[in-house]
């Protein structure tokens, strides 16, 4: 598992900060106040009305799918070149236009020089993050529980990202996925953004998306009529697909957490999730016992997934009668 401050992520942060159009989940800059935040704002703010930002705003008012902007950045090489390294699988014209905007913005703002001037600071941020967030605490528990794995795991330390997580995946030549998780700092230590051990659970959640969502996508046609009938009212999660993913992923991460840290804390956590709108979380959590107790029948989570979503459908149906 790689943990890094990547210039492509910082470039995307600057684009979205100035344009006001954020990848869903990015929202805004961190409320924390590391020294880097002022330096970032001071450097990029004069370019708010530049040509590249105007082009980006025009794209965002059109048909450019904002939710994939992070993945698109990682189809490109690092600044300043920003060459297309992987062909875009769909919407090629929009993505190529986005690559051109990113390149123009990088050149216009002197982004490469700005990033280089902060490399020593980024190195210190990465070093403290690697001490706090260990690969063995993130990857093995996921792979053991799911019986499945990603081709690679990359943690993008985003010094100006809100607290919490987001992510994306990129399909490799063999049909597997490279998983990317974006996390923001939890606090400021010695004027630097700090990433702490408590973010291990966030990483379970973000990497789980890249394992669970493809399972849902394969069943989308069958699941749509079963779940689109339910009314979901959880802030920040729109539509039945997001809600099914979130229910499943949260239930799994709660099981992993209980295995490692004990069930007491997890039961309290789930009460909070239920107050927040995930109303049958505890029952769904319990339904995973059938998977755990018969891994011969269900060697991979993919084998149990149809059973789990069936259980979720039943639980939601009972609650909404």
b/e code 223-258 from CB counts within 10 Å (16+ = b): beebbeeeebeeeebeebbbbbbbbbbbbbbbbbbb
pLDDT attached to residue 64 = 64
Q: Does 163 share its domain with 29?
A: yes
Tens-digit pLDDT profile for residues 199-232: 999 999 999 999 999 999 999 999 999 999 987 7
Tell me the residue ranges of DSSP E strands in 48-91. none
Query: Does a structural domain hold residue 170?
Result: yes
50 occurs within a structural domain: yes
Please tell me the distance from the alpha carbon of residue 167 to that of residue 184, in angstroms, as a whole number. Answer: 12
Q: How much of the chain exceeds pLDDT 70, in percent?
A: 95
pLDDT for res 198? 94
Examine the domain organization and report whether 257 and 298 are in the same domain: yes
Q: What is the residue whose two structure tokens read 């703010």?
A: 45
SS3 content of the chain, % helix, strand, coil (to 5): 60, 10, 30
- How many whole angstroms separate alpha carbon 78 and alpha carbon 266? 40
Q: Can you give the residue range of the structural domain that contains 254?
A: 219-319
Sheet holding 165-171, edge to edge: 2-4, 152-157, 177-183, 165-171
- Predicted pLDDT of residue 306: 98
For the chain, how many helices (H) and strands (E)?
15, 6
pLDDT score for 69: 77
Q: Do the Cβ atoms of 53 and 105 come closer than 8 Å?
A: yes
Check if the beta carbon of residue 243 is closer than 8 Å to that of residue 227: yes
Question: In this predicted model, what pLDDT tens digit does every residue of 242-256 receive, in sequence order?
Answer: 999 999 999 999 999
pLDDT recorded at residue 315? 95
- Clarify whether residues 177 and 241 are in a common domain: no
Residues of the chain with pLDDT under 50: none
Buried b (16+ CB within 10 A) or exposed e, 156-191: bbbbbbbeebbbbbbeeeeebbbbbbbbbbbebeee
Q: What's phi and psi for 84, nearest 5 deg?
A: -75, 115
Tell me, yes or no, whether 206 lies in a domain.
no
Specify if 213 maps to a domain.
no
Query: Could you give the angle at which helices 200-218 and 220-227 cross, rounded to 10 degrees?
Result: 100
Cα 234 to Cα 111: distance, rounded to the nearest angstrom: 38
pLDDT tens for each residue of 114-144:
999 999 999 999 999 999 999 999 999 999 9
User: Per residue in 140-154, is it b (16+ CB within 10 Å) or e — as a string?
Assistant: ebbeebbebbbbebb
pLDDT for the residue numbered 28: 66
Q: What is the pTM for the complete model shown?
A: 0.94
Q: Return the pLDDT at 321.
A: 63
- State whether 136 and 225 are in the same domain: no
Give the residue among 320, 237, 229 at the shortest CA–CA distance from 280: 320
Q: Which of 132, 163, 195 is where one domain is finished?
A: 195
- The predicted pLDDT at position 25 comes to 52
β-pair partners for 153: 179
Our count of domains for the chain comes to 2
Mark whether 183 and 226 lie in a shared domain.
no
């Amino acid at each position: 598992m790689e943990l890094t401050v990547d210039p492509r992520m910082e470039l995307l942060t600057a684009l979205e900060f100035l344009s006001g159009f954020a990848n869903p989940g990015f929202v805004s800059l961190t409320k924390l106040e590391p020294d880097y935040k002022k330096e970032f704002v001071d450097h990029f703010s004069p370019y708010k009305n530049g040509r590249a930002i105007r082009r980006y705003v025009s794209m965002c008012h059109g048909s450019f799918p904002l939710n994939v902007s992070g993945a698109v950045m990682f189809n490109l090489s690092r600044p300043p070149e920003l060459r297309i390294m992987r062909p875009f699988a769909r919407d090629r014209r929009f993505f190529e236009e986005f690559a051109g905007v990113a390149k123009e913005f990088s050149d216009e703002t002197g982004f490469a020089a700005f990033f280089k001037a902060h490399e020593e600071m980024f190195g210190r941020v990465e070093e403290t993050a690697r001490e706090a967030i260990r690969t063995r605490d993130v990857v093995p528990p996921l792979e053991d529980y799911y019986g499945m794995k990603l081709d690679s795991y990359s943690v993008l330390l985003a010094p100006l990202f809100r607290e919490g997580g987001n992510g994306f995946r990129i399909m490799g030549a063999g049909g597997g996925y490279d998983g990317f998780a974006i996390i923001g700092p939890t606090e400021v230590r010695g004027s630097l953004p700090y990433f702490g051990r408590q973010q291990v659970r966030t990483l379970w959640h973000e990497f789980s998306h890249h394992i669970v969502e493809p399972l849902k996508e394969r069943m989308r046609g069958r699941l749509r009529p079963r779940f689109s009938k339910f009314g979901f009212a959880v802030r920040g999660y729109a539509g039945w697909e997001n809600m099914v993913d979130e229910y499943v992923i949260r239930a799994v991460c709660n099981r992993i957490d209980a295995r490692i840290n004990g069930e007491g804390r997890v039961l309290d956590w789930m009460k909070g999730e239920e107050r927040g709108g995930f109303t049958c979380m505890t029952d769904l959590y319990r339904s995973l016992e059938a998977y755990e107790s018969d891994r011969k029948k269900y060697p991979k989570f993919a084998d149990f997934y149809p059973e789990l979503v069936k259980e979720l459908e039943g639980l939601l149906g009972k609650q909404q009668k």
